[in-house]
Amino acid sequence: MQLILLGLPGAGKGTQAKVLSESLGLLHISTGDMFREAAAAGTELGSRAQDHMSRGELVPDEVTIGMLLERIAQPDAGQGIMLDGFPRTIPQAEALDVALGERGTPIDAVLYIQVPESDLMTRLTGRWTCPQCGTIYHVQASPPKTAGVCDHDETQLTQRADDQPDTVKTRLDANREWTEQLASYYENASKLHDIDGTGDPAGITARLMAAIESVSAAG
């Protein structure tokens, strides 16, 4: 199967993509990981992407699309893919449709994990990190034993700038526009499946699996 996970930051796409891809035997492709792998490998497109990222710029569509097409052409993508963080624009979605159509493996479903903004704010602003060992905590989901202090090395926890409330709100606003555009694009193509992203992760996984199984049965 060829699947896309869609959702705002904090919706749990990365967590669910990992679980689902392992369960279904799909290649999980995250654009962030893809950029890092290509840059480390020194590919031409990877170097171009690194140039933009090092200047704090968005990687142009043509570079991102080129990197993805290179990645899905590799043998480990043959059993199917689960995309997390791609596409981000309509041109990227259109290019993906063309590329997968040429391979005879079009997108089967786009799973849109929907979570109320108030919940997203709580999830994203509650993250704290140990600058010493890198352990990530959450004030509600996985708090440290002592507030503000790492369980492992007693280092004072810090919060990333992009996890602070004003920054999180700005991120959500910026991501909402392109996410809703993509949702409309895939809804018009009869590919979109809305998934309730609230509650415990296992319950969300079950809802995602049910949607995937219904698509598989219909196909």
∠148-154-160 over CA atoms, to 5°?
45
**Taking a C-beta distance cutoff of 8 angstroms, is the pair 27, 79 a contact?**
yes
List 13, 48, 191, 207, catalytic entry = 13
DSSP string, 151-175: TTT-PBPB--GGGSHHHHHHHHHHH
CA-to-CA distance for 7 and 85, rounded, in angstroms? 9
Q: Record the tokens describing residue 49, joined without a space.
A: 């992407």
List 48, 71, 88, 123, catalytic entry = 88
160 is catalytic: yes
Of 177, 172, 189, nearest in space to 110 by CA: 189
36 is catalytic: no
H or E segment and range at residue 126: none
Residue carrying structure tokens 């999980």: 28
171 is catalytic: yes
List 48, 71, 127, 191, catalytic entry = 127
Residue carrying structure tokens 């709580």: 122
List 18, 36, 169, 171, catalytic entry = 171
Q: Among all residues, which ones are annotated catalytic?
A: 13, 88, 127, 160, 171
